[in-house]
Amino acid sequence: MRPPKLDLNLFVVFEAIYDKRNLTRAAETLFITQPAVSNALARMRRAFDDPLFVSTPTGMVPTPLSENIIGRVREALQLLETSATEGDVFVPGASERTFRLSMPDLTEAILLPALGEMLQQQAPGMRIESYFTPRSEVAAALATGKIDFAIDVPLIDDPQLHQVPLGSDRYACMLRRDHPFPGDRLTMDDYLALGHIQVSSRRQGSGLVDAELHKLGRRRQLQMRVQHYMVAPLIALRTDLALTAPVQLLQRYDARILELPFPLAQLQWHLYWHRSGEQDQANRWVRGEVIRLMQAMTAAPAV
């Protein structure tokens, strides 16, 4: 079925309704009235001969047709937005663009100080905003322009996204300088005798370290569970608890860093962006700088 020619603004409204699942919130997002959103939806329903969204107590639920076309609608809107700036010559020092990045707090701590310093020198008018986007929502957020880049482990597989490795880091164990453990090397028994801090944003469930220990038939003593990597070293510095984390984080603190007594896969970072931003000059410059900074830091010798 080929619908008649439609005002492109109708697809903007369509995407907002799909995203918000509510006509009033879609109107607020677009800075138009709710009747205008209702009118646009009615026009699209007539053109597609489909309700597109069904009103339920929990919100506007997309019909199968809406689910089928949303990906192409989002890609087309992103391409139109990108094409408006592609022809411009990009000058970092004159740019006032805002770029939105999704990354966990550990990556923020590693990347943003260096990125901020670089931008202050080369693109002082550019703005960076960092958010955390759940992995299951990254592809959609990149497609709709909610974020421009995402940094995550290499577990996101979507044909609409480009990705490049940013580097890797090994895990080690951190103890405070005056920790009662006397040695410079940890045996497995030493490691398991310590109390440990676990970092996880989930309320329950094991992480990489505990999963690996489980394979070996061993179990460590978890005495504290925290949401973010950035608070965990502060706890380790004031207690006898041990923290197992990437060396890039641990070496920022005046603490003892000991090798783990068992093998553990390295943490890997990948940079993701939507294919619609591939040729945008500002996007290319920013991602090039992110790649350069992260690869330089992860390639540096770890303490």
pLDDT over 60 at 129, yes or no: yes
165 DSSP assignment: E
Quick: pLDDT tens for 151-179.
998 888 888 899 999 999 999 999 999 99
Mean pLDDT of the region 2-12: 72
Domain with CATH 3.40.190.10 in the chain: 93-165+268-299, 171-265
Quick: pLDDT tens for 71-110.
888 877 777 766 655 555 788 998 888 999 999 888 998 8
Q: Residue 255: beta bridge partners?
A: 176
pLDDT over 90 at 68, yes or no: no
Give Dmax over CA atoms of the chain in angstroms: 78
pLDDT over 70 at 224, yes or no: yes
CA-based end-to-end distance of the chain:
63
Q: What is the pLDDT of residue 242?
A: 97
Amino acid in the structure at residue 189: D
Domain with CATH 1.10.10.10 in the chain: 8-86
Q: Residue 61: beta bridge partners?
A: 54
Residue 1 binned pLDDT confidence (cut-offs 50, 70, 90): very low
Report, at the CATH architecture level, how domain 8-86 is classified: Orthogonal Bundle (1.10)
User: Can you read off the two tokens belonging to residue 259?
Assistant: 């090798």
Mean pLDDT of the region 35-43: 91
39: left (phi over 0), alpha (psi -120 to 50) or beta: alpha
pTM, whole model, 2 decimals? Answer: 0.68
- The class (CATH top level) of 93-165+268-299 is alpha beta
Instruction: From the options 3.40.50.300, 3.40.190.10, 3.30.930.10, 3.10.20.30, give the CATH code of 171-265.
Output: 3.40.190.10
Give percent above pLDDT 70 in the chain. 93
Q: How many CB atoms lie within 10 A of CB 130?
A: 19
What backbone torsions phi and psi does residue 12 show, to the nearest 5 degrees?
A: -65, -45
**What is the spatial distance between Cα 119 and Cα 281, in angstroms, rounded to a whole number?**
16
